[in-house]
Structure 1
Amino acid sequence: MIQENQSSVGQSSSHSIQNEAKKIMLTSGQEEISNSSKVVTSLIAGAVAGGLAKTIIAPLDRTKINFQIKNIPFSFHEAYKFIVISYKESGLTSLWRGNSATMARVLPYAAIQYTSHEQLKRLLGVETNEDKRKHPIRSYIAGSLAGVISTSLTYPLDLARARMAVTHREKYNSLGAVFRKTIKREGLTAVYKGYFPTLFGVIPYAGTSFFTYETLKRLHHDYYGPADPHPLERLVFGAIAGLLGQSASYPLDIVRRRMQTQPGSMTIFGVLNKVFVEEGIIHGLYKGLSLNWVKGPIAVGVSFTTFDLVTKFLRDLSFFTGF
C-alpha cells in the first residue's frame, strides 16, 4: 500500500515537472515545433540572413577580390583608390557589380548551410548547451559539414559571381552569359574550377565560425542563465566567429579566386607555390586579410544575428507551430 502511494506520488511529481517544463517553454516562446517546420523556418531565415549580410559588404567584397586575383600589393589606401575610381568611372552601382550573382548564390547557399547545420546538430546529438559541452568536436564537425554541403550544391554560382566582380559589364552582362561563355571556351567542368581549394577552405572556415558562435552563446547561457543574448551581443559573438573563421582559411581563398578568374589549367599547390614565390607569404597568401578583418566580422555578425532573430520570429508564429 505504501509502495502504491509512493508510486502515485512519484507519477504525480513527474507529471507536475513535465507540466512546469511545458509552461516554461510556452512562456518563453519556445514551443516545440515539428522538424519539418524547423527545416522551413531555417531555409527562410538562412536566405534572409545571407542576403542581408552579403549586400551590406558587397563593395568591400568586390575590392578584396580585385586584389586577390592580381599581383599588386594591398593597402587600405589602394583599396580606397579602387573604390573611388570604380565610382567615378562606372557610378555607385558598380560597387555592387556581381551582387545579383552573389544573391543568386548566397540565398540558396545560406539557406542550405543554416538548415544543414541545424539538422546535423540534431543527428550528431549536439543540439543543447549540455551536448555542446560534452561533444565539442561533434559541434565543430556539424559546422564543417554544413559548409561542405552548401558549397558543393552552389559552387558554380560562386564562380560566376567572382568573374562578374572582376570584369567589365561588356564581357559578362548577366549571370547566364558567364555560364555560356565559360562552358563554350573552357568546357563544362570549368564551372567547378577552384572547387577543391574552396572545399578545403570551407571546412576550417565554417567549422570555426559555427563552433565559435555556438560556444560563445553557450558560455553566455552558463553565465547569465536562460535569457537570450541581446542582438548586440549576438553581433559581437558573430564578429569574433567571423574573424577566427576567415583567418583559419584565408590562403585557400586566395587560391580559389585565382583559379576561378584566370584561364588555363591550375592546381592548388601550383597556385600556392606561384603566389609564395612571386609575392611572399604576407603580401601574397594573406593579401587582403586586413580588409577581411573588417568585412568578415561585419558579414558573419549580421548573418548569425539575423538568422537567430528571424528564426525565433518565425517559430513564434502560430502558423509554424502547427505546421
Structure 2
Amino acid sequence: MSLAKEFLAAGPGCALANGLLNCFETTKVKLQLHDTTKPVYRSPTTRGIMLQIAHEEGIVRGLLTPGLSASLTRSMLYGAYRVGLYSTLRTRLSERGEDPTWVHRLVSGMITGGVGSMLSCPLDVVRTRMQADSGVIRNGRYVTGLRRGEAVRYRGMISAFWTIFRQEGLKNGLYRGASVTVARASLLNGAQLASYDTLKRQLKWEEGPMLHSFCALLSGVVAQTVIMPIDTIKSQMMLGNRWVDVAAILQKNGPFYLYRGWVPACAVKV
C-alpha cells in the first residue's frame, strides 16, 4: 500500500471512530478537570457524570457534540500521521528484507505519534477547551457543566481558535502544553502500535477480524494505562493552567487522581 493510501485510510478511519466515541472523550475531560473542592457533578465517576450530563443537557448536546468539529479535524490529521506513516517508517528503520523488531515498532510509533501530535496540538487545545466548557447556556452564561455561572468564551471551533490566539498567542495559547502533548502522543502511539504489532505476531492466530479486534483491545488498554497520568496533566495545562503542581495534586487527592477518567479514555482508545 502506498503512503498516500495509508494516509487516506488512517485519517477518515480515526475520525469516524473518534466521532462515534466523542461522548467518552467529553466525559474523560470533565472527570479530569472536576474540582472536588467545588463539586459540579454529584457522582464524579464515568457513569455518574454521563447520567447527569444526559439529564441536564441531553445526550446529543451534552455528550455527543461538544468539541466534535475540532475532534474530527484533529483525528483526520493526527490519525493520518500516527497510523498511516507507521508501517512505512517501521519498514525503513528495519534492515532490508528482515522482520522489524519490537524496538523498530516502538520507535516508529513514538516518532509518528510525536509528529502527528505536534501538527495537531492547536486542534487538541481547542477540542479540550470546548469539551470542558460545554453546558446549557442562558443569557450568555453557563447554567450547567464545569463553568456553571461563568460567561461563554467560545461560540464554535473557529471562534475558539481566534479567541485563544488573540488573547493568549500561539506559544502560550494554541501550543500550550505542547511538550506534554508530544510526550503523551509518543508514548501512547509507541505503546499502542508496538504492542498491537507484537501481539498479532505472537498469537499466531488465523488472520481475520477476531485477531485484529483482540489485539486492538489489549493494545489500547496497555497504551492508555501507560499515558493516563500525562493525559490528566495535559488536560489541566490545555485548560489554561500554566503550571501543574503534580506533587500538590497527589498530596491533596492521592495517586489515583491522575487516573481519573481512565475508563472513558480506554473506551475511546480500544
**TM-score where L is the length of structure 1:** 0.71
Q: How does 1:259-274 map to 2 (within 5 A)?
A: 259-263=237-241, 265-266=242-243, 270-274=244-248
Q: For the residues of structure 1 that align with 2:226 and 2:70, how far apart are their CA atoms?
A: 26
Q: Select which of 73, 93, 99 maps to 1:131.
A: 99
1:185 alignment partner in structure 2: 167
> How many residues end up aligned between the 2 structures?
248
1:99: how far off? 1.3
1:68 lines up with 2:35 in the alignment = no
Q: For the residues of structure 1 that align with 2:51 and 2:193, how far apart are their CA atoms?
A: 35
1:288 lines up with 2:266 in the alignment = no
2:89 alignment partner in structure 1: 120
1:313 alignment partner in structure 2: none
1:166 lines up with 2:140 in the alignment = no
1:235 lines up with 2:213 in the alignment = yes
1:276: how far off? 1.4
Q: For the residues of structure 2 that align with 1:249 and 1:158, how far apart are their CA atoms?
A: 16
Q: Report the secondary structure of 1:115's partner residue.
A: coil
Q: 153-162 or 56-65, which moves further after superposition?
A: 56-65
Contact 1:121–1:127, Cα closer than 8 Å, also in 2: no
Q: Report the secondary structure of 2:2's partner residue.
A: helix
| Amino acid of the structure 1 residue aligned with 2:2 | K
Distance 1:76-1:46 versus aligned 2 partners, 3 A rule: farther
Distance 1:194-1:142 versus aligned 2 partners, 3 A rule: same
2:200 alignment partner in structure 1: 217
| Amino acid of the structure 2 residue aligned with 1:144 | M
| Amino acid of the structure 1 residue aligned with 2:163 | K
Q: Select which of 242, 245, 250 maps to 1:276.
A: 250
Larger Rg over CA atoms: 1
1:77: how far off? 7.0
How high is the sequence identity, in percent, across the aligned residues? 22
2:50 alignment partner in structure 1: 83
| Amino acid of the structure 2 residue aligned with 1:40 | A
| Amino acid of the structure 2 residue aligned with 1:66 | K
1:26 alignment partner in structure 2: none
1:93: how far off? 1.7
1:80: how far off? 2.5
1:75: how far off? 10
Q: For the residues of structure 2 that align with 1:164 and 1:67, how far apart are their CA atoms?
A: 14
Q: For the residues of structure 2 that align with 1:219 and 1:127, how far apart are their CA atoms?
A: 22
For structure 1, the 5+ residue unaligned runs are 1-36, 301-323
Which gives a bigger RCO, structure 1 or 2 (Cα 8 Å, sep 6+)?
1
For structure 2, the 5+ residue unaligned runs are 136-151
1:56: how far off? 2.5
Q: Select which of 108, 123, 135 maps to 1:157.
A: 123
Q: Which has the higher helix share?
A: 1
Distance 1:77-1:167 versus aligned 2 partners, 3 A rule: closer
Q: For the residues of structure 2 that align with 1:171 and 1:106, how far apart are their CA atoms?
A: 24
1:140: how far off? 0.9
Q: For the residues of structure 2 that align with 1:245 and 1:65, how far apart are their CA atoms?
A: 18
1:211: how far off? 0.6
Q: For the residues of structure 1 that align with 2:106 and 2:45, how far apart are their CA atoms?
A: 37
Q: Report the secondary structure of 2:133's partner residue.
A: coil
2:138 alignment partner in structure 1: none
1:59 alignment partner in structure 2: 23
2:235 alignment partner in structure 1: 257
Q: Select which of 104, 113, 127 maps to 2:73.
A: 104
Contact 1:126–1:138, Cα closer than 8 Å, also in 2: no
Contact 1:101–1:160, Cα closer than 8 Å, also in 2: yes
Contact 1:48–1:107, Cα closer than 8 Å, also in 2: yes
1:76: how far off? 7.8
Q: For the residues of structure 1 that align with 2:212 and 2:20, how far apart are their CA atoms?
A: 17
| Amino acid of the structure 2 residue aligned with 1:245 | A
